[in-house]
């Protein structure tokens, strides 16, 4: 029984913890701008179809063009990260549940992933929310204060004000309750 409990505990910790993203991005070396300067510049994210999302910093968070008057959940992830993949069904459920009032924008933090590879990932996982794949993803990651572990999610209300954040795999019910608070 002790062995079963130890194995169960180890598996639970692996699933509920996040993946480390310690690898330094090449963009880190090339930029000498401070976090404040980065925050003040609009950032243009692109989804895999080339649609642009202009992200602008505000005093209390960020606004996302095309997502006005919606609660936005920003999800930093990688396709190789087990907790990131485990969250996908929950994110799909939340996107479906809140449809027109809520949007998920997933920010891919992987270099050299083609849009075709991401399209296949979306199809395989039946993802119903936006995934961005551009060099600007790393700039946005810096503007939120840096991303050291994934999955990492930030919830913003309809005005773009920061509401809360989540590190690691989070139960769907917890995110759902927080969405209801800001709707």
Q: What are the sequence ranges of the domains in the chain?
A: 18-182
Please give the pLDDT value at position 20: 52
Joined together, the tokens standing for residue 62 give 């960020």
Mean pLDDT over 7-36 rounds to 43
Report angle CA 97, 102, 107 to the nearest 5 degrees.
Answer: 110
Phi-psi region of 176 (alpha: psi -120 to 50; beta: other; left: phi over 0): alpha
Mean pLDDT over 121-131 rounds to 98
Q: Is the pLDDT of residue 40 over 80?
A: no
Joined together, the tokens standing for residue 155 give 């919830």
Packing angle, helices 82-98 and 172-182, rounded to 10: 40
The DSSP output letter for 32 is -
Q: Is the pLDDT of residue 180 over 50?
A: yes
Residue written as token pair 């609660």: 71
Q: How far is CA 136 from CA 3, 13, 94, 130, 182, in A?
A: 46, 32, 26, 15, 27
DSSP reduced 3-state for 130: strand
Instruction: Give the domain 18-182 fold.
Output: Glutaredoxin (3.40.30)
Please give the pLDDT value at position 39: 53
Q: Is the pLDDT of residue 19 over 90?
A: no
DSSP reduced 3-state for 134: coil
Please give the pLDDT value at position 162: 97
Long-range contacts of range 120-125, CB-CB < 8 Å, 24 or more positions apart? 121/79, 122/48, 125/85, 125/88, 125/92
DSSP reduced 3-state for 10: helix
Q: Determine which of 1-15, 34-48, 155-169 has the lowest per-residue pLDDT on average.
A: 1-15
């Amino acid at each position: 029984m002790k062995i079963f409990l130890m194995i169960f505990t180890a598996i639970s910790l692996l699933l509920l913890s996040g993946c480390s993203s310690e690898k330094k991005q090449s963009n880190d070396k090339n930029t000498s701008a401070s976090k404040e300067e980065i925050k003040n510049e609009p950032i243009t994210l692109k989804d895999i179809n080339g649609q642009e999302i202009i992200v602008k910093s505000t005093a209390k968070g960020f606004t996302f063009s095309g997502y006005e008057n919606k609660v936005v959940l920003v999800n930093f992830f990688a396709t190789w990260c087990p907790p990131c993949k485990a969250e996908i069904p929950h994110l799909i459920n939340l996107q479906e549940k809140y449809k027109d009032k809520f949007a998920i924008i997933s920010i891919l933090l992987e270099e050299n992933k083609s849009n075709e590879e991401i399209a296949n990932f979306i199809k395989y996982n039946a993802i119903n929310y936006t995934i961005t794949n551009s060099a600007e993803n790393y700039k946005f990651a810096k503007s939120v204060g840096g991303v050291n572990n994934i999955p990492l999610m930030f919830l913003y209300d309809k005005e773009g004000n920061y509401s809360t954040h989540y590190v690691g795999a989070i139960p769907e019910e917890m995110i759902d309750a927080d969405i209801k608070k800001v709707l």
